[in-house]
Amino acid sequence: MGTYAADTQTLSIGLLLVRVVIGLLMAGHGAQKLFGWFGGYGLRGTGEFFVQLGFRPGPAFAAAASISEIASGLLVAFGFLGPIGPALMVSVMIVAAITVHWEHGLFAMNNGIEMPLLYGAAAFGLALTGFGQYSLDAQLGIAGRWSAEGIWIVLALGIVGGFANLALRRRPAIAART
């Protein structure tokens, strides 16, 4: 398959590293929005920003996004519940990429879609590969219980959820210039 054969333990260590970094960063990103931790704006400031993006009521949408980011990040970091955490992460990253970053191009230096694209791609990949032997799913004996079809269905629901959220967006009308 690849250029070298990785044993299960090496593969699982690699998946653990990716899961913990991506998961905890995503959970921290949500904590910035919800609690104002790590230099974030908290629910009030994030809610006001969401109103500017066209999501009303802003605090409710901000809370939903924050909770989804925290939950998805922790599920991924702990390797728990198979593709559910990754699908949530993909969902919120679709919304972030389109509403905040799309108009700025690709790279993060210009506030482009680079970061939500990286989070989303990593989450999608983890859903497809599984979490490895150093995961809560493996320790609880529930790893490998997801069929390929089930994984794709959960990921599709995450994608649909992201676009459904976007459909609820009502961008403010631009004031006419005189």
Q: In the predicted model, what is the mean pLDDT of residues 37-57?
A: 96
Whole-number mean pLDDT of the chain?
94
- Tens of pLDDT, residue by residue over 88-98, are 999 999 999 99
Sorted by sequence, the CB contacts under 8 Å of residue 145 that are 6+ apart come out as 82
Report the distance separating Cα 174 and Cα 22, nearest Å.
37
Please check the confidence at residue 2 and state whether its pLDDT lies above 80.
no
Instruction: Give me 150's structure tokens.
Output: 């089930």
Report which DSSP code applies to 6: P
pLDDT tier, 178 (very low <50, low <70, confident <90, very high otherwise)? very low
Report the distance separating Cα 5 and Cα 104, nearest Å.
40
Give me the amino acid identity at 44: R
Contact 43, 60 (CB under 8 A): no
Q: In the predicted model, what is the mean pLDDT of residues 53-58?
A: 96
- Tens of pLDDT, residue by residue over 127-160, are 999 999 999 999 999 999 999 999 999 999 999 9
